Structure 1
Amino acid sequence: MRREIAPIVVVGGSGFIGSNLADSYLRDGEEVIILDNLSRPGVDKNLRWLKGNHGDRVHPVLADIRDLGAIEPVFSDAKAVFHLAAQTAVTTSLLHPIHDFETNARGTLNVLEAVRKAGGKAPLVFASTNKVYGGIDEIAMAEFDDRYIPTDEVLRAHGFGEERKLDFCTPYGCSKGVADQYVLDYAKSYGMATAALRMSCIYGPRQFGTEDQGWVAHFLICALRGDRISIYGDGKQVRDILHVKDAVAAYRALLRSIDDVKGKAFNLGGGPQNAVSIRIALREIEQMTARPIETVNADWRAGDQLYFVADTRALQQAVGWKPEITWREGIRDLRDWLVENRFAAARIRQPRRATA
């Protein structure tokens, strides 16, 4: 699989973040290999979109990261690797923990080994998760009508930093946590240029959100359809949501600075300025779609943090990145993309822009 131009390999490149990241490099004129098994419903549409926009510079390889022999040739002449392929739902990990482990832990080790066997020169950036910090149950919270807020002033001002101890929880947290640590160790043990981004909730165009993963897109899709939405817990859980354009910018910035940040993990999220609870997000979506949203309450789910906001100051200082898109702008952008791409036949009234 030798090529005249060394390609960028995006593992999981047909997925939500992967397709947006691949598109950004393809628009720069790069050759991009999309390594994906197309197991997630809808991602084949993302691959067709990439091929339709960029033609022969897109090189699809349909293979599974659990099969080391099948993926080894893909990395033979890669100049950079982004590893975003994963089993992404906590609920699925609880039902199928072995599959979760084989995909997230074993699959990541296979990717690392494939890069190492190819010479280990290609830098690798890994998509980790804030779930490596566990449920964060010991943090004192103040409860308000529509959100939880930490009583600690520093946490309220900045969020959780990378110095927080790891505390793997649920099979998903364990499998991604194992992968996270392997990625960092390959920089120490083998001198490879590896780094990780521990992500909060990323949302935006090309996301096929479900009840189990991608909740912002899921809520918007349900609202546009007029479907009832299940709320697990009381809906006061807070997350710092980050638009995919800002996430792509972070991945690219980390790669540019890989020699300075190799062997390190950084938190990636919208930060305190983009922290919203489920109730607040639903209220905003209701206004944006001009449709009432019917909800039903269900039991809390395992590993569901009452509050997680990423302290991204370390990432900002290391690579010069910061989020640019506010959460209201971002949700509006996703609404517009869904209306154009998934609900084009529907006549959906667009309300006036909501004020902060």
Structure 2
Amino acid sequence: MAAPLARGKSARRRQLLLAAAGAALTGGTALAQAPSAPTGDFPNRPIRLVVTFPPGGSADAVMRMLVPRLNEKLGQPVVIDNKPGAGGNVGLSLVAKTPADGYTLGLGAAGALTANVSLYPQMPFDPVKDFKPVGMVAATPFVIVGHPSIAARTQRELIALAKASPGTLSIGHGGNGTAMHLSAALFAQMADVKLVEVPYRGSGPAALDAIAGQIPLALVDLPASLQQIRAGKLVAFAVTSAQRVPMLPEVPSVAEAGLAGYDSTGWFGVVAPAGTPAPVVARLNAEINAALGDEQIRASMRNLGAEPAPTSPEAFEAYIQSETKKWAKVIQTARIRLD
């Protein structure tokens, strides 16, 4: 799920996120193989990686694919510590309070690093001031699906159906405040339709209810829906990235299907406490990108519906800033608020 190519702002976001991925695909692997800046004896003890997702999820699974390679190259074990809760706020608040020495890192996503500051009245950390971005790990586009009984087969027909009966068509998503929730809100805003949003505890339950016909629509991640789409148990209207994805090449993007400029992907990446020395960040970034360039790891990630997305720390930081502004506008327009 690499962040997508599109025109204008979408293209610039794509360029920021996937410059390194493009180099890897063409054989350059500039980021992955570039010499690291001097880091002294770092690391000389185990590194704690606070994963803000529960065990077994796609983000947790991806990091467990990377850890053996990181252990080998860093010469020290990277120990995963799962700390889910409050849309990622629980885990990242722990990271923000640790010494800025590179020995405690966080795996955060769009929620905690960009959207939560607009969703929650109070935050336990400042996403900009309290962290130093190390690098993106993966991007995860979503897909808009429906039960086969729905009287639409394309996105244009779906929008027309929603406009014909405002406020009656429901769409399930992975939970209030999640990237799926915000993606559904952005779709409704850009399509100028009123949908009844139904929050679930994750993609899986939302997809299951769509398969069973309990809800007509759902906006879910690829792992929860891919096999059911291929089996004809769900209709796929569009993917939320700005271009098509390799896993569903026959399904257009939302932008391609008529909502120009729509671009929304889930993603997760590694951050360190603010003040972490630049050579330490550079070493960590180089080893993460090198692991993401491994073809076996890339294939395994794609099987989970995750597209490797190596970046430089600077590109990751710029992307976080642009996404924070983008989602603040969506949240304000949709009047979404979490306690």
TM-score (norm: length of structure 2): 0.32
